[in-house]
Structure 1
Amino acid sequence: MDVFDDLIRGVRAHGSLFGSSVLTPPWSLHFADGAPLTLCAVLGGAGWIVPEHGEPVPLRDRETVVVRGPEPFSFVDEVGTRAAPVSCGQHCAVPGQGGTRHRRGWHDSGDADVTLIVGAYPVRGEISRRLVEALPGVLRVDGGGTGDGVLDHLAEEVAIDRPGQQVVLDRLLDWMLVCTLREWFDRPGGRPPAWWAAQHDPVVGDALRRMHAEPAAPWTVAVLADRARVSRSTLAKRFGELMGEPPLTYLTRWRMTLAAEMLVERSSATVADVARAVGYSDPFGFSAAFKRVRGVNPSEFRRTATA
């Protein structure tokens, strides 16, 4: 278990393919559904992603962008296009609305300039929210990378309706999102989040994997250092340099993130149940730690979040 595995597990496509829209200029598709993450890829042409606030981003053949919501954005043939905006979202699934002929597939024997493949992602829980917060408003990845093969599969799958197609599309979209985020985090000259870069360090990466695999274990700096076969001072120094905080401070914040998700997702769990699940035998000590990190006690957090 690594940090990325944990953070992305709540980001899953589920019936979320808006469509594979074949477009001829001029066009202007306006996405205003407020999805936390939207993945867009084009085949056989180019266009522009225009966020509501921010600079337009070019999207060329076989390139992919991920747009962070909930702010709306548009996909246009050119900046300042004369095309009237067509609102796209959960109902953008028929040609009259600028979308696809069928909800789960599209086929047209005519010529077209651009095929746009779009997938929207819900983001469940406190854990995956940490991933979303590490992303810019719009990120773009060039074609020619590991996602190209997935894009080909997506293009083939949306061309015809088949039994079980939505499940296949969902999994392909998940695969495409993972490939896109990996390439963006690893891009030359990029500034990935600290947890992404630290995973590649043999010492800090080992400590992170252990804390994520067993967050409730009674970890100490000495135990983590012993598992990594380094001294306590070495672990503390390298962890602080790469992560910007001590190991046990990170562990406490991660435990409180897990606890916050459990408080919302497991309505039958008591505060004491959640405390034990994240490594606290004393619910009062857990409540104090939760309030120190989250600003409110567990019961107040649950009431507000579920409301």
Structure 2
Amino acid sequence: MDAFGDLFRGLRAQGSLFGNTILSPPWALHFVDGAPLTLCTVLGGSGWIVPENRPPELLRAGETVIVRGPEPFTFVDEVGTRAEPIECGEHCATPDQGGTRYRLGWNDSTCGDPGDGATTLIVGAYPVRGEISRRLLDALPVVLRVASGGGTDAVLDHLAAEVAADTPGQQVVLDRLLDWMLVCAVREYFDRPGGEPPAWYAAQRDPVVGDALRLLHAEPAAPWKVSSLADRTGVSRSTLAKRFAHFVAEPPLTYLTRWRMTLAADLLVEREGATVAEVARAVGYTDAFAFSVAFKRIRGVSPSGFRRPGTVVPEQPVGPPLRPPGAVPAAVPVVGARS
């Protein structure tokens, strides 16, 4: 795992959050469940994604769009369509649930021959759990569009073959293919010519800062100092500090503190039986009081207050996520030379 891969921890397509739709015009699907992330891929035909208060996006065969919630959006055959919108949420999938041709993870054979001009749409809606996964939302625009012809094409081929089948385990395969598509689509968006990816994403390509980030993700609870991090990356303290600040826009230990607090926030919620002192030790603090002071400074609320139901937590600045404690450290090669 790296800073980018960690963003997807906890993001998984799950059964009822998958839909395969075969549509003949006129048609309009209105997605109303407010999913934090919804991935739409057109296998054949075309249509328009119409977000609220934003320009429509044409989606052709082989193209993918990711829509960031919670605002609803519509997928239509043409802008201004005369079709009556069908509301599609994560449970709106079969006729008895209010849907028509919106199905859960299998090919809709009841539609018969859809005729010329039919559009096949694959949809995966993703819940976002915890502070780590939430940072993926912070790094994305409301509508992210990826054209065909890139790394997503291989996934599309597998998706097309799988939705045409009716075999045991199909739902599991489709879910994992959607996860693969999500990662590929976001990566292509960040790597597009003229793009402006988040600073932490670009920083991973630097041989010095990239290694430093991988070390911090692999061993977040280690007693890091700038000197020890520089030793592990094979450069001087001054070189590491300068390059890290240039690419990440903050010093290494400031980044580490925010990173630890992000991990601690999830641990406080996920491990209800753990004491604040135990969470503190899990993220590298031997002193629970020092941890609480740092947590409140970064998160705007005490650890106990954060864990309390109903607590309103202030918005946090965008930053890379942590690995879970106890993760097996990745092997990081020593690169560069001392200067």
Q: TM-score, normalised by structure 2?
A: 0.87
Q: Is the 8 A contact 1:150 1:175 kept in 2?
A: yes
| Corresponding position: 1:220 with 2:220 | no
Distance 2:42 2:75 in 1: 11
Q: Is the 8 A contact 1:287 1:298 kept in 2?
A: yes
Q: Is the 8 A contact 1:48 1:56 kept in 2?
A: yes
Residue 69 of structure 1 corresponds to which residue in structure 2?
69
Distance 2:108 2:259 in 1: 43
* Equivalent residue runs for 1:93-104 within 5 Å: 93-94=93-94, 97-100=99-102, 104=106
Cα offsets for 1:122-168 (capped at 9, x unmatched): 11111011111110000000111111121121222222332212111
Distance 1:136 1:57 in 2: 14
The correspondence for 1:156, drawn from 139, 142, 161, is 161
* Equivalent residue runs for 1:257-272 within 5 Å: 257-272=262-277
Cα offsets for 1:75-124 (capped at 9, x unmatched): 01111111111101123323672433565332354125210110111111
- Per mean C-alpha deviation after superposition, the further-off stretch among 10-19 and 216-225 is 10-19
Sort the Cα spacing of 1:85 and 1:100 in 2 relative to 1 into closer, same or farther, 3 A. closer
Q: Is the 8 A contact 2:20 2:104 kept in 1?
A: no
Distance 1:82 1:244 in 2: 50
Residue 12 of structure 1 corresponds to which residue in structure 2?
12
The correspondence for 1:106, drawn from 90, 108, 111, is 108
Instruction: Please give the root-mean-square deviation of Cα atoms over the aligned residues, in Å.
Output: 1.7
Runs of 4+ in 1 over 4 A off after TM superposition: none
Q: Is the 8 A contact 2:23 2:101 kept in 1?
A: no
Sort the Cα spacing of 1:102 and 1:180 in 2 relative to 1 into closer, same or farther, 3 A. closer
Distance 1:165 1:217 in 2: 42
Task: Quote the offset at 1:306 in angstroms.
Answer: 8.0
Q: TM-score, normalised by structure 1?
A: 0.95
Distance 1:276 1:65 in 2: 41
Task: Quote the offset at 1:205 in angstroms.
Answer: 0.5
SS at match of 2:308: helix
SS at match of 1:203: helix
Task: Quote the offset at 1:25 in angstroms.
Answer: 1.3
Task: Quote the offset at 1:272 in angstroms.
Answer: 0.6
Q: Is the 8 A contact 1:21 1:98 kept in 2?
A: no
Q: Percent identity?
A: 71
Residue 279 of structure 2 corresponds to which residue in structure 1?
274
Q: Is the 8 A contact 2:47 2:77 kept in 1?
A: yes
Number of positions where the alignment pairs a residue of Structure 1 with one of Structure 2: 307
Residue 180 of structure 1 corresponds to which residue in structure 2?
185
Q: Is the 8 A contact 1:20 1:118 kept in 2?
A: yes
Q: Is the 8 A contact 1:19 1:105 kept in 2?
A: no
Q: Which runs of 5+ in 2 are unaligned?
A: 313-339
Residue 55 of structure 1 corresponds to which residue in structure 2?
55
